[in-house]
Amino acid sequence: MLVKKLITFVTASIASVGVTSAAVAGGPDYVSTPAGGEYSGIYIEGNAGYVYHPWGSDVTTVPGILKNFSLISSSSRGDGGSTFGGDLGYQFNKNIALEGGWFYLPKATFNTVDPGSFAIKGGVAYTALKGMASIYGNTYAFGKLGVSYTYNWSSIALASSDLNSTNNVSSCSNYWNPLFAAGMQYYLTPNWSVSTQYVFVPGYRSASSNRFVTPVVHLLTMNVGYKFVI
């Protein structure tokens, strides 16, 4: 429900930017032309937003199991928090681009009743194919399909072996998974754009001697981009 509300709010914000600029100027500030060179080029984007990464709420993860048995006394960012990142890509034409990027996953900390504490931090690197379609004027809808590499590091300071006796936990859990994204983009000029996007990365579900179970990643970000038009 939280993710749905955030998506609705941010999408409405992007739409209002386009409507406001058109109203103030008596028409669209910038209307793209069909020339192929108008679209192709290298672009870079920076983003910031919120990530839902439910270590504490997912009962298949170590923190979730400990919380379910009332062994967690307190936590910070146990289910996500603020995120930021960036991407670099090349747009081939009006509809297709290829990009690589990275997102920060906030550090989650948990205090146990032992007493003791542990923390988990990480990030997501990815490469993806981006498809775009014009909706109206300078506004585009886009989708991304790619492959991601998620890395997680855990640091443990426990008075007992509660954490290590659960799901055979190690100090890291790095894995490959698909990445899916969708969003809206508005071009202020041929070079500058603003956008909002939702990104989904599946978690890792099989505990082993060198990986622990990790939850899914839901990201919602606002982005500012610049394209070097060729």
Two structure tokens written together for 136: 């109206």
The answer to whether the CB of 109 falls within 8 A of the CB of 95 is no
Residue-range domains of the chain with CATH: 2-18+41-229 (2.40.160.20)
Spatial distance between the Cα atoms of 191 and 90, rounded to a whole number of angstroms = 13
pLDDT of residue 24: 39
Tell how far CA 80 is from the center of its chain. Answer: 11
Tens-digit pLDDT profile for residues 174-207: 999 999 999 999 999 999 999 999 999 999 987 7
Pinpoint the alpha helices (H) of the chain: 2-25, 62-68
pTM here is 0.78
Amino acid at 87: D
Tens-digit pLDDT profile for residues 118-152: 899 999 999 999 999 999 999 999 999 999 999 99
Spatial distance between the Cα atoms of 121 and 123, rounded to a whole number of angstroms = 7
Spatial distance between the Cα atoms of 64 and 48, rounded to a whole number of angstroms = 27
Beta partners for residue 144, in sequence order: 130, 181
Check whether 19 has a pLDDT greater than 60: no
Check whether 2 has a pLDDT greater than 60: no
Tens-digit pLDDT profile for residues 56-75: 999 988 888 888 888 888 88
